[in-house]
Amino acid sequence: MQSFIDQSVCFIENHQAWAGVVVGLLAFGESLVLIGILLPGTTVLVIVGGLVGAGIVQPLPVLLAAMVGAALGDTVSYFLGKWLGRGVVHKWPLNRYRREIARARLFFHRYGFAAVFVGRFFGPVRATVPLVAGMMGMNRRRFQIANILSAVIWAPSVLSPGWLVAKGAGSLPELDATSLFGMATIAAIALVIIAVVAVKLRGRR
């Protein structure tokens, strides 16, 4: 895993024009059923956020690629669940991950629409909730609304820790492209916190 992380970061540093493509593929894999359980994509994306903060990588292509890749990954997982049906959990290779899928089913049963939105931010269910949503016959339009909105917020959120470290605490950067990226990230994190609180309150009710 560490070798994969090092090679991915090194490639992005040495081939900055391909940064958006690599980030898009990582976000896609991170959201794809089964692959997302095994792929250390989040770690790479956090480091890429640091490259953005350091001015090595342009923020906009990376940010857009992360959003698109994440949304496409969940979409593919959703349609796989819809196509294969509930019995897929008893077949290889998903039968080796019954615990993860059971956890995602419980999460989806409890929160529904909110599970798709918030699930992207929780590692244990991120790669399985979209599959479960498809298996359980969730309305396609409702799924895509939750999917796209969460991808738009998730992308800057996952890149933000590295960006903030690169910029350094206590310093106010100039209002350039990376600074705007940082402010958007902070706003996204605030929205995530609000969403999580809303889900918990709904669960209590």
**Residue 172 — pLDDT band, cuts 50, 70, 90?**
very low
Q: Reply yes or no on whether the pLDDT at 175 is more than 50.
A: no
The Cα–Cα gap between 205 and 189 comes to 25
Task: Check: pTM over 0.75? Answer yes or no.
Answer: yes
The one-letter code for the residue type at 200 is K
The mean pLDDT of the chain is: 79
Q: Reply yes or no on whether the pLDDT at 170 is more than 50.
A: no
Bin 84: left if φ > 0, else alpha if -120 < ψ < 50, else beta: alpha
Only one residue has tokens 């690169």, namely 166
173 or 157, which is more confident = 157
The Cα–Cα gap between 149 and 179 comes to 22
Would you state the torsion angle of the CA atoms of residues 99, 102, 107, 109, taken in this order, to the nearest 10 degrees? -170
Only one residue has tokens 């309150």, namely 201
**Residue 201 — pLDDT band, cuts 50, 70, 90?**
very low
Which secondary-structure segment (H or E) carries 25? helix 19-31
Please give the share of the chain, as a percent, with pLDDT higher than 70. Answer: 76
161 in Cβ contact with 46 (< 8 Å) = yes
Q: What is the DSSP letter of 91?
A: S
Give the pLDDT confidence score for residue 191 in this predicted structure: 61
Q: Does the CA dihedral 91-146-200-189 come out positive or negative?
A: positive
